[in-house]
Amino acid sequence: MKRIILISGLLAVFTLKTVMAEGPSVKEPGTSKAGSVVYLTNETFKKQVFNYTVNKDWKYEGTMPAIIDFYADWCAPCRQLSPVVEELAREYAGKLVVYKVDTEKERQLAQSLGVTSLPTLLFIPAKGKPQVATGALPKSVLVKAINEVLLVK
C-alpha cells in the first residue's frame, strides 16, 4: 500500500513539473495567442501549413513565415530545444508563427513528411520552399536561420 501511495505521489509531482515546464504554450491544436507556440495535429497541419493530400507541390497555406518543431516527449534533445523554441515564439510574436508537432501523437504526419530524426525543425518562409534542420541547435543558429531563411529581423 505504501508503495502505491509513493508511486502515485511521484507521478503527481512529475505531472506537475511537466505542466509547469511547458510554460505559456497553447496545447489545443491549431490555436494560439500572441507569442505562444501552436500545437498542430495532422488535420490542423493540412489547413494551416500544407495540405499534402491535395497538393503534390509545396503550397504554404499561411501568410507569415513559420517554424515547425517536430518533437517527442521522450526525446532529451527535444526537451532541451523546447524552451528555446518557446522563447523565439515570444521574441518574434507578430513576425512569424511557431508550431510544434508531437510525432508520437501525429505519426502519420511525421511519416508523410519524412521526419526520421528528432528534433526536426522546418523553416517555412512566407514565399518559397521550406528548409529543414535537425538536432538541438543553439539559439544563435536558429536566429540566423530566422534572419536568413525566413527573412525576419
**Residue 11 vs residue 91, higher pLDDT:** 91
How would DSSP label each residue in 121-133?
Answer: EEEE-SSS--EEE
Task: Return the pLDDT at 33.
Answer: 59
Active-site residue flag, 75: yes
* Domain annotation covers residue 17: no
Among 78, 110, 115, 142, the one annotated catalytic: 78
Among 67, 75, 96, 110, the one annotated catalytic: 75
What is the tally of structural domains in the chain? 1
* Domain annotation covers residue 76: yes
Residue with cell 512569424: 96
Percentage of residues in the chain with pLDDT exceeding 90?
76
Convert the pLDDT of each residue in 45-56 to its tens digit: 999 999 999 999
Convert the pLDDT of each residue in 2-52 to its tens digit: 444 434 333 333 333 333 333 334 444 454 456 799 999 999 999 999 999
* Domain annotation covers residue 70: yes
d(CA 53, CA 102): 20
C-alpha cell at 130: 521550406
* Domain annotation covers residue 6: no
CA distances from 123 to 34, 100, 143 (A): 19, 12, 11
Range of lowest pLDDT (11-25, 47-61, 84-98, 104-118): 11-25
Pairing of strands 97-102, 38-39: parallel
Tell me the CATH number at 65: 3.40.30.10
CA distances from 129 to 16, 108, 124, 145 (A): 40, 22, 7, 14
* Domain annotation covers residue 132: yes
pTM, entire model: 0.78
Domain around 127:
24-148
Contact 67, 121 (CB under 8 A): yes
Active-site residue flag, 78: yes
pLDDT class of 128 with cuts at 50, 70, 90: very high
CB atoms inside a 10 Å sphere around CB 136: 16
At residue 148, does pLDDT exceed 60?
yes
